[in-house]
Amino acid sequence: MNDLNKQMNQWIAYIEEKLEVFMPKQEQFPPVIFEAMAYSLFAGGKRLRPMMLLAACEAVGGEKEEGLPFACAMEMIHTYSLIHDDLPAMDNDDYRRGRLTNHKVFGEDMAILAGDGLLHNAMEIMADACYHNPSKKTTGAMQAIAHGAGIHGMLIGQVVDVFYEGKPLEANILEFIHINKTAAMIRAALKAGAILGGATDTVAESFALAGEKIGVAFQILDDILDVTSTMEELGKPIHSDERNEKTTYVTLYGIEKSREIACKLSDEAISIWNELGEGCIFLKDLTEYLTKRTY
């Protein structure tokens, strides 16, 4: 295992331990809602957003403990979005994080409520942190996260994605969807972490910009991997009319050009980390891993 994998695993273990602490205790009846929330939260995600938030906080000289409530809140918001995205009314998926989706196990009604429960719990954790430590750092971080998750970020990305369902997309619409649906939460994680660590507004904006580039590159690679893994499974090239297909970077530009676009975005993010200096080495390595991945 290389150094980056070791560091990522350490972050994951740390985050999972703290997520347990920040989950609501089973004080209410019936227990099913607590089970449904925990089922998806502890289903083995990569914990990228909280990891980035904590690493950004440390990169600018902050203590990871300052970022903890916000990091856990980010993962809860991310998990809520996955539960809702998988619902029959949206993507209608049966599997997520290697297990049956929340609604397949608990039913649609409980899955909607489990997503809502995680979102509201995240808001309560952050509001609590702001209340106990009122400062521009805590309120600024909460603002960045709510902004990234809501109507100016992930949510509007999902709305536009749903709105154009089944219709061909222009490149600028597809870019809008990626910037918001996928990249806004990565942008928010890095910006919030930098704010909590005490970065100036200008430096926090650089973290945000790197996050946007990483997020879009990450999504383009996801689209590429989707096609290449299907090709591998089928053992042959597949043509666009054989797949029940959405517009992606791959359908618009082809695999090679899409790889080039992702690579360029990744390089731009890495330049930002280089400019920000030594403290950003982990984030730089993580960026390379996520945006040039072959896994």
Residues that bind ligand GRG (CB under 6 A): 45-46, 48, 78, 81-82, 84-85, 97, 154-155, 158, 181-182, 219, 222
Q: CB within 8 A of 144, min separation 6: which ones?
A: 188, 191, 192, 195, 208
Q: How far is the CB of 219 from ligand GRG (least distance, A)?
A: 6
CA distance 83 to 22: 19
Task: State the minimum distance, in angstroms, from the CB of residue 285 to ligand GRG.
Answer: 17
Q: CB of 255: closest distance to ligand GRG in angstroms?
A: 18
For ligand GRG, the nearest residue by Cβ is 45
Phi and psi at residue 95, to the nearest 5°: -130, 145
- Which residues touch 10 (CB under 8 Å, ≥6 apart)? none
| Min CB(115)–ligand GRG separation in Å | 8
Q: Please report how close the Cβ of residue 24 comes to ligand GRG at its closest, in angstroms.
A: 21
CB within 8 A of 13, min separation 6: which ones?
none
Taking the least distance from each CB to ligand GRG, the nearer of 182 and 266 is: 182
Q: Is 54 exposed, middle or buried (0-12, 13-18, 19+ CB in 10 A)?
A: buried
Considering the complex, state which of residue 225 and residue 263 has its C-beta at the smaller distance from ligand GRG.
225
Q: How many residues does the chain have?
A: 295
DSSP 100: E
Residue 18 CB: number of other CB atoms within 10 A? 19
Q: Which is nearer to ligand GRG, 135 or 160 (CB)?
A: 160
Instruction: Read off the amino acid at residue 137.
Output: K
CB of 200 to ligand GRG, least distance (A): 29
Find the shortest distance in angstroms from Cβ 236 to ligand GRG: 25
Using the minimum distance from each CB to ligand GRG, give the nearer residue, 58 or 85: 85
Q: How far apart are CA 76 and CA 94, in angstroms?
A: 20
Name the residue nearer to ligand GRG (CB basis): 137 or 181.
181
Closer residue to ligand GRG (CB): 59 or 149:
149
Smallest gap from Cβ 29 to ligand GRG, in A, equals 28
CA distances from 286 to 42, 216, 217, 236 (A): 22, 15, 13, 32
Strand partners, 100: 95
Amino acid 61 reads G
Closer by beta carbon to ligand GRG, 43 or else 128: 43
- Decide whether 181 or 213 has the Cβ nearer to ligand GRG: 181
Q: Give the dihedral sign, CA 129/131/136/141.
A: positive
